[in-house]
A = this chain, B = another copy of it.
Amino acid sequence: MREAEISRPALGRIPMYLRFLKGLPPSIRNISSTVIAKELGLGEVQVRKDLGALCGSGKPKVGYQRSELIESLQAFMTGEKVNAVIIGAGRLGKALLDYTGFEDFGISVLSAFDEKISEGNLSEGGKPILPMTEFSEFCSNNNVGIGIIAVPSESAQSVCNIFYDNGIRLMWCFAPCQLYKPADAVIQYENLALSLAHLKMQIK
């Protein structure tokens, strides 16, 4: 429940807080949000709000106990473990499959599936790339919470349907399209071209 109240930017600052707190000399046992804000060049109100939402408020005059703060931030960032799978094992799908940054947030990308392959093989990072015929069985045997759509737009709707039919309600879609979905599914779109186009607009 508490998690829902944390904004995406706040979530993004947790790794920065953790790096800073872990890097302090061992003699520092307590630290205030004022000091953290100053050292990281952030607004004091923002830091107080972030840490308040994540770890409760610090003690007046003393601040937070450093080890406790590290522990709560770490626990929050990892959260409950969730398994994800990818459909689409082209360059993007493979890049996502072997990307190591998801584990920090408690997300394991288990495998990628592709209808263009007929026999399972391993990615460069050693993860399974499997034919679509094995998809349903894989989902039954593993507790898959998130489906990643890494196919071209024209196949994205059928992949979305396959995820849904296999019980997956959260999807992350890299195809630049709009999908029809049942009310209880959540689709988050990641449009890389649009991101880059937005940056381009800042050319003076």
Question: Chain A interface (Cβ within 8 Å of chain B)?
Answer: 3-4, 6, 8, 11-12, 15-16, 77, 79-80, 82, 84, 90-92, 94-96, 98-99, 101-102, 104-107, 124, 145-146, 148, 170, 172, 176, 178, 186, 188, 190-203
Interchain CB contact under 8 A, B176 and A199: no
**Quick one: copies of this chain in the complex?**
2
- In the complex, how many angstroms separate the beta carbon of A155 from the nearest chain B beta carbon? 15
Interchain CB contact under 8 A, B79 and A200: yes
- In the complex, how many angstroms separate the beta carbon of A19 from the nearest chain B beta carbon? 9
Task: Report Cα–Cα, A28/B146, bound state, in Å.
Answer: 42
Task: Report Cα–Cα, A191/B99, bound state, in Å.
Answer: 12
Interchain CB contact under 8 A, A202 and B186: yes
